[in-house]
Amino acid sequence: MCTAVSFRKRGFYFGRTLDNDSSFGEEVVIAPRGFYLRGAREHYAIIGMATVREGYPLYYDGMNEKGLCMAGLNFPGNAGYNPPSAGAENVPQYNLLPHILGSCASVAEAARALKAINLTDEPFSADMPAAPLHWMISDGQRDLVAECVEGRMQLYENTVGVLTNNPPFPVQYAALSDYMALSSDEPRNAFCPALGLKPYCKGMGAMGLPGDYSSHSRFVRAAFVRNNYELCEGEDGESALARILSAVEVPRGCCRSGDGWEVTLYSSRMDAAHGVYSYTTYKNRAAERVALGGVSGDALVRFTADT
């Protein structure tokens, strides 16, 4: 389970929660311009959360030096990739995020790149098959969702600024119509004016906003909070995004997964203008910040995250 959100007040910020029942040794990883990304000897520098295997970063999310941001979210039962094809620009699923962030400076460039590739089901290793994902890609102006279903890459403009998991994005978007009567304002009595009904507390305009941790409910809840959020005086966009993401964080004991519990392992916020990656973990609520900094070099720069 995961939720990704963009936010464009007092700057451009992008973030996500990653919910799982176990950690895979997540680290904040900088891939400088000279680090060899498969298929690219030179590329834009990237910073993001990743698991490093055999010296290679498997990114969950990240941004590049141009301010383009991207996150992969679980999409089981729907994601379907292709086998490699002779003569095609084959990109394995595990390398899609560095492929896009390494070569694209904007969502427009990312859309063109996504249309040109053959996204393949090649595993990273024998014990790491292709993960079923879909992706949200954002810059300062727009958001895009990329879903590869039955081997066909589908791109969707994301005017909601939110992505979770299943069902596919068009279904999630259409389902928002079920909640269009919800409001941050006090409700008026449309039930029966003759009864003289009145609100008995604040917040009743949003009664019916789903509060569970399913992907559908998190999509609706994050969309409501994100699109109604009002900054207070002196508040910056990163703080606002942190509060938006907190609305969908999963505490231990609320979502069982086998013999364990699904929890929000980490919540990230990316300040695209300044190249700063911030995050909190379930174990550490104090925000840690890592700056992209120098973009030259050919070796990964790694910072352990206490997930």
Give CATH for domain 2-304: 3.60.60.10
* Closest C-alpha to 179, from 213, 229, 224, 128: 224
Beta bridge partners of 187: none
DSSP state of 40: B
Which token pair is 91? Answer: 């990109």
Could you read off the pLDDT of 220-272 as tens digits, one per residue? 999 999 999 999 999 999 999 999 999 999 999 999 999 999 999 999 999 99
**How far apart are alpha carbons 162 and 144 in whole angstroms?**
10
Looking at the predicted structure, is the pLDDT value of residue 293 above 90? no
Which token pair is 283? Answer: 């174990």
Confidence of residue 42 (pLDDT cuts 50, 70, 90): confident
**How far apart are alpha carbons 278 and 271 in whole angstroms?**
8
Could you give phi then psi for residue 267, rounded to 5 degrees? -130, 125
Q: What is the pLDDT of residue 285?
A: 92
Q: How many CB atoms lie within 10 A of CB 243?
A: 12
Does 84 sit behind a cis peptide bond, omega within 30 degrees of 0 on the bond before it?
no
Q: What is the pLDDT of residue 1?
A: 82
**How far apart are alpha carbons 274 and 65 in whole angstroms?**
9
Q: Pairing relation of β-strands 69-74 and 133-138?
A: antiparallel
Judged by DSSP in three states, 124 sits in coil
Q: What is the pLDDT of residue 39?
A: 79
Which token pair is 177? Answer: 């119509």
Could you read off the pLDDT of 97-156 as tens digits, one per residue? 999 999 999 999 999 999 999 999 999 999 999 999 999 999 999 999 999 999 999 999
Q: In what helix (H) or strand (E) does residue 64 lie, and over which residues does it extend?
A: strand 56-64
Which token pair is 167? Answer: 């069902």
The domains of the chain are located at 2-304
- Dihedral of alpha carbons 28, 107, 134, 282, sign: positive
Active-site residue, selected from the candidate residues 2, 104, 148, 255: 2
Q: Is 255 a catalytic residue?
A: no
- The proportion of the chain whose per-residue pLDDT surpasses 70, expressed as a percent, equals 100
